[in-house]
A = this chain, B = another copy of it.
């Protein structure tokens, strides 16, 4: 039974955001919210978290300047809180990005729900757990939602928003509106689905890729090139459905399905995930190391960020009102 949420402010009036967990995803959220002009308070239990976080934000900043900062946006508006309670005390919105462990998420969300002002919406960055399973230990669970971003959250627009059984639908609506105001592209789901939408899609592709590598049918390089030199060039601005509709020529999706429908029965993908044994693991690790060549992690991140910016600009998604 959903509890009723009465958010203390409208999505448009959010000023202070608490980011709980400051790893790759949590830190990416911090960078995004700072760039959009919010005050951000972060908390992370790791001893070296502050140092790492400030480096992540500083590394992201040139990219964010290129996209365009909101008025008043500055890295100086980041505060590191010594405790979880202090981090969320004044927050108008809380983004949780702890490691992907169900028990940890469950107890952390309970702790957050207890420490955060009544009605403030708390979103989890979980990449797969249903909120129904994560909110079981929390009181006031009606304001707990999933707000699942993509890496890096300061550049990739997508956020998937969905509630659990105990979540107040108003909290879902509030979160969706808030993310929209905060410059994200929002998909609001009306039901829980393990992995949500985008991860299920990329996970299907990923499983097939792992099978191919496991069977020696394709190398990591082949797999990456087969996407970046092929379908990936279209998917940056036109999704798989509309892309396949165009493959049907002037007959569109109808022709495509009527013509190629039978090939769905062809043995073109495998079904269950492969055993992730040592051999497969190492093949993937080595293949990626080879693909990276002389480039450091920072080089690759910078290249990825620049690439996304360029693609966003090239496809007309920079400088729009959204």
Contacts and interface: CB of A to CB of B under 8 A. Distances in A.
Interface of A: 23-24, 99-100, 128, 150-151, 155-158, 160, 185, 187, 189, 191, 193-195, 197-210, 212, 217-218, 220, 222-247, 249-250, 252-254, 257-261, 263-269, 271-273, 276, 281, 284-285, 287-289, 291-292, 297, 300-301, 303-304, 307-308, 310-315
A232 B235 contact: yes
16 contacts: A24-B247, A193-B217, A197-B212, A197-B218, A197-B226, A201-B209, A228-B238, A233-B308, A241-B288, A246-B297, A252-B285, A252-B297, A257-B285, A258-B281, A271-B271, A307-B314
A287 B242 CA distance: 9
In the complex, the count of this chain's copies comes to: 2
B236 A194 contact: no
Contact of A288 (B157, B223, B236, B252): B252
A291 to B, nearest CB: 5
A100 to B, nearest CB: 7
Given A205-B204, A226-B158, A310 B300 contact: no
Contacts of A260: 100
A202 B231 contact: yes
A208 B217 contact: no
A286 to B, nearest CB: 9
A295 to B, nearest CB: 10
A174 B292 CA distance: 29
A271 B13 CA distance: 45
A229 B149 CA distance: 11
B241 A223 contact: yes
Contacts of A235: 227-228, 231-232, 235-236
